[in-house]
């Protein structure tokens, strides 16, 4: 599903944010990307979602070489990806329903389909009763779940989550992670960036550890490598 081959990333006039990244995430896998703040987790996700371009190497996502995804192909490529953010990035002047429906509206779905799918997605995250509310009126955990509903409403093959538990207490974090696991179980490839290592260990999934832009030898839980 995702394959990085010798990928480097450097912002203009800066040092390398990612150095010689080689990794492979299989179709339908659920993978955690961990590391300290500034290790390059978010950049890794941004490269996959084509928010940034890598400077060297090759990234293949869903069979597409990202170098060749340009111009009009970018929106179509992104429609196959769902993204959640640490700060949720909900549109505050729109209702919960409209927020979740956004990826469908963007793709030109008919209203009946939008209605059906959005309700289903909201039901899935347990917020169907709040569809007419505005994000401001929701708790942090609820806002995160609205963000998750938005990320999956268009049934993407790949789900990217950037620090989904960043602002949540442990109980809510676990709940959120369980939610991601449910999507993983129906075949969605899930990539979650998180620095909450204790939480990740409990989930018993593949872990990718970044340190200062480089990939550390990785494995399953408990094999966290100490920074050299």
Partner 1 sequence: MSKKTSKNRPVANLNKIIGSWFLQHVQAFLSSLGQLYKNPMNALLTTFVIGISLALPAGFYSFLENARRVTSNWDTTSHISLFLKTDIDDQRAQALADELKNHADIKTVEVIDREAALLEYKQNSGFAAALDALEHNPLPPVIIVQPKIESISSMNNERLLKALRALPEVDSGQFDRQWAQRLHRIIEVFQRFIMIVAALLSIAVILVIGNTIRLAIHNRRQEIEINKLFGATDAFIQRPFLYSGLLHGIGGSLIAWLLLETAVLLLNGPVVRLTDLYGSNFSLVALNFREIISLLLLGAGLGLAGSWFSVKRHLRAIDLI
Between the two ends of the chain, the Cα-to-Cα distance in Å is 30
Which range in 35-43, 100-108, 137-145, 188-196 contacts partner 1 by CB under 8 A?
100-108
What is the edge-to-edge ordering of all strands in the sheet holding 56-61? 16-25, 2-10, 56-61, 64-65
Site string for partner 1, 62-91 (x = CB under 8 A): ----------x-xxxxxx---x-----x-x
CB of 106 to partner 1, least distance (A): 4
Which residue in 68, 110, 112, 186 binds partner 1 (CB under 8 A)? Answer: 110
Among 12, 14, 63, 108, binds partner 1 (CB under 8 A): 108
- Which among 6-14, 26-34, 50-58, 126-134 is the span making contact with partner 1, rule CB under 8 A? 50-58
CA distance 22 to 6: 5
Is 53 near partner 1 (CB under 8 A)? Answer: yes
**Residue 170 C-beta: closest distance to partner 1, Å:** 29
Among positions 9, 45, 49, 208, the unique one binding partner 1 when judged by CB under 8 A: 49
Nearer to partner 1, 72 or 132 (CB): 72
Q: Considering the rule CB under 8 A, would residue 183 count as an interface residue with partner 1?
A: no
- Residues forming contacts to partner 1 in the complex (CB under 8 A) are 49-53, 72, 74-79, 83, 89, 91, 93, 102-103, 105-108, 110-111, 150, 154
């Amino acid at each position: 599903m995702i394959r990085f081959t010798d990928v480097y990333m450097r912002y203009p006039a800066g040092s390398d944010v990612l150095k010689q990244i080689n990794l492979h995430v299989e179709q339908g896998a659920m993978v955690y990307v961990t590391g300290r703040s500034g290790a390059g987790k978010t950049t890794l996700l941004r490269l996959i979602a084509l928010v940034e371009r890598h400077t060297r190497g090759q990234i293949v996502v869903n069979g597409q070489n990202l170098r060749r995804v340009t111009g009009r192909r970018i929106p179509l490529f992104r429609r196959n990806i769902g993204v959640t953010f640490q700060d949720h990035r909900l549109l505050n002047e729109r209702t919960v329903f409209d927020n979740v429906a956004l990826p469908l509206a963007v793709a030109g779905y008919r209203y009946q389909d939008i209605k059906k799918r959005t309700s289903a997605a909201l039901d899935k995250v347990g917020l169907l009763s709040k569809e007419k509310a505005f994000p401001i009126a929701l708790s942090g955990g609820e806002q995160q779940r609205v963000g998750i509903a938005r990320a999956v409403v268009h049934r993407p093959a790949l789900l990217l989550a950037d620090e989904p538990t960043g602002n949540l207490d442990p109980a809510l974090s676990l709940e959120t992670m369980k939610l991601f696991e449910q999507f993983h179980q129906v075949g969605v490839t899930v990539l979650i960036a998180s620095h909450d290592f204790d939480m990740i260990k409990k989930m018993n999934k593949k872990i990718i550890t970044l340190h200062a832009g480089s990939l550390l030898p990785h494995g399953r839980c408990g094999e966290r490598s100490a920074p050299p």
